[in-house]
Structure 1
Amino acid sequence: MKSKDLGKVVMRMTVDGISSRQIAKELRNVANNRTNRRWQHLYKRTGSIGLNVPSGRPRIVRTKQLIQKVKQRFTYKRRRSARQLVKSLRVSEATMRRVI
């Protein structure tokens, strides 16, 4: 069963008033109790289970503007270390490695 279908089943059971623990038992632990509670909370708060929205911090640091800045720095000063670029552009070392 796909997660969208499973989410719909959990949503329907939530509307019927079944607790997350009972849902986990009925679905034979296909989705655990914690996932059921998260989906129930999302459904009660927003009216749907937004599975298409990723959780966590968005990765928007590596933009075209940053890539252009790094290219410009390399054209003006060829001998530039990644550490110096990290300090001057105020990005993390991992982001700089992705750009370079």
Structure 2
Amino acid sequence: MKSKDIQEVVKTKYGNGDGPMKIYRDLAGVVSLKTIKLWIKMINNTDSINLSSTPGRPHIARTKANISKAKWDLNRKKQVSTRKLAVEMDI
């Protein structure tokens, strides 16, 4: 089940009068209770669940360019620590 599908289930269940704990139990822990409460707060404020960006820190280290450079460096050098590799790549 995709995230959008889960969000629709939460929105429907909340619209039917289910509380956050009941929704959490019905979903069997697929989504955390904290996330369900956050989505319910969004539903109350805007009547929808709009995630403009993914939560958490931005993913700057796992780009295609960095991955290919790391693979190239690892093939070139037999033993190198991840810390040294990160320093060389400015990550």
How far apart are residue 32 of structure 1 and its match? 1.4
Amino acid at match of 1:9: V
Amino acid at match of 2:3: S
Give the SS at the match of 1:31. coil
Gap runs ≥5 in structure 2: 59-89
Larger-gyration structure (1/2): 1
Change in CA separation of 1:57 and 1:14 when aligned onto 2, cut-off 3 Å = same
1:47 corresponds to:
47
Structure 1 Cα separation of the partners of residues 27 and 57 of structure 2? 31
Gap runs ≥5 in structure 1: 59-96
Change in CA separation of 1:56 and 1:25 when aligned onto 2, cut-off 3 Å = closer
2:8 corresponds to:
8
Runs in 1 of length 4+ with deviation above 3 angstroms?
A: 55-58
1:29 corresponds to:
29
Identical counterparts, % of pairs = 34
TM-score normalised by the chain length of structure 1 = 0.53
Mapping 1:1-100, distance limit 5 Å: 1-51=1-51, 53-54=52-53, 55=55
Amino acid at match of 1:11: K
